[in-house]
Amino acid sequence: MEATRRLHHRVLLTGDFLHPDFAGVRDFLASRDEITVNEASLPDVPPGIRDVIALCQARPGQFSQAQVEILHANSPLGHLLAILGSWCEGELRSGRPWHGVERVYWYDAVGRLRWLLSADSPPACRTHAPAERIERSVAGWPNAIGGTTAVIVAPRRDDYEPLADICRALQIAPRWQRTAPPEGPEPDLLVLSADDLQAGRSMEAFAGFRRAWPGARRIALLNFPRQEEIALLLEGGFHHVLGKPLLLTDLLGCLAGLWATVPLRQVAAS
């Protein structure tokens, strides 16, 4: 007798989700068999039970606060995630950002969604208390991550210390390296933090770390990365690129994905 597969999560994809900035979001949701995805254009979103409502906005002002409240009303227990395109990067300073939503830029959206949808239970919604949100996040954390090592390459101690604190909380032993070339034994995790690719100079340094430590899981952090920068880094052997300013949720989601998909000490150089 054929077994029936349980679909764990229900996601509504709405807004300007066909914009090129959100192609990665569409591809990710389509690739996950355990996710049921419905697409609807604003304002024609019917009421329904959803775990996550992903509202895509490519430019500031595309959708109003009133439309956001309709989404809340139609799915009051759903986790409303605003996924913002590159034109929205200055919205917090000069625009009118929505209230009552969690925000993420397009380059971190897949990691955020992976984290929200990683546990067997639905993600926390805005009615949950902070303690319940933390409990749900920790429940999905991989046990194998503890006891590993990380090298954090950052030009300033102010950049290194927050990342080191996160590593220590996860029982990952961090060490700081300010610049190239690589020093010491190969770590389990390599985190390279830079302002941008600096006309190729950072890319050359990044490639040197990859050649020296081919077995490390590799994450690059850039200030508001562009699509071409992300493409260069992924083609250069990095597993993930995250944007700065960095949210803990996005780094946790990235690390959980790496530990689930990249075998320890068995990363093939490409």
Tell me what pLDDT residue 263 has: 61
Task: Give me the domains of the chain, ranges plus CATH numbers.
Answer: 9-139 (3.40.50), 143-261 (3.40.50.2300)
Cα 113 from Cα 123, distance rounded (Å): 10
Q: What is the pLDDT of residue 261?
A: 72
Question: CA dihedral defined by 14, 98, 255, 152, rounded to 10 degrees?
Answer: 140
What is residue 98's predicted lDDT score, i.e. its pLDDT? 81
- The CA-atom distances, in angstroms, between 183 and each of 11, 60, 150, 212, 270 are 45, 44, 12, 9, 22
Amino acid at site 199: A
Q: Do the beta carbons of residue 46 and residue 89 sit within 8 Å?
A: no
pLDDT at residue 132, rounded to an integer = 55
Here the tokens at position 190 are 């390599």
- How many Cβ atoms are within 10 Å of 43's Cβ, its own excluded? 12
Is pTM, for the whole model, over 0.75? no
Q: What is the pLDDT along the chain (270 residues), one digit of tens a residue?
A: 333 344 478 899 999 999 999 999 999 999 888 888 888 887 778 888 888 999 999 998 899 888 988 898 888 888 899 999 988 887 655 557 788 788 899 988 988 888 788 754 445 555 555 445 545 554 555 555 667 899 999 888 888 998 898 888 778 899 999 877 888 899 999 998 887 776 456 677 777 888 888 889 999 898 888 888 888 888 888 888 888 877 777 787 788 778 777 665 544 333
State the distance between the two ends of the chain, measured CA to CA, in whole angstroms: 43
Query: What does the buried/exposed string (b/e) look like for 189-207 if buried means 16 or more CB atoms within 10 Å of the residue's CB?
Result: bbbbbbeebeeeebbebbe
Residues ≥6 apart with Cβ < 8 Å to 233 = 197, 203, 206, 220, 222, 241
* Bridging pattern class, strands 217-223 and 189-193: parallel
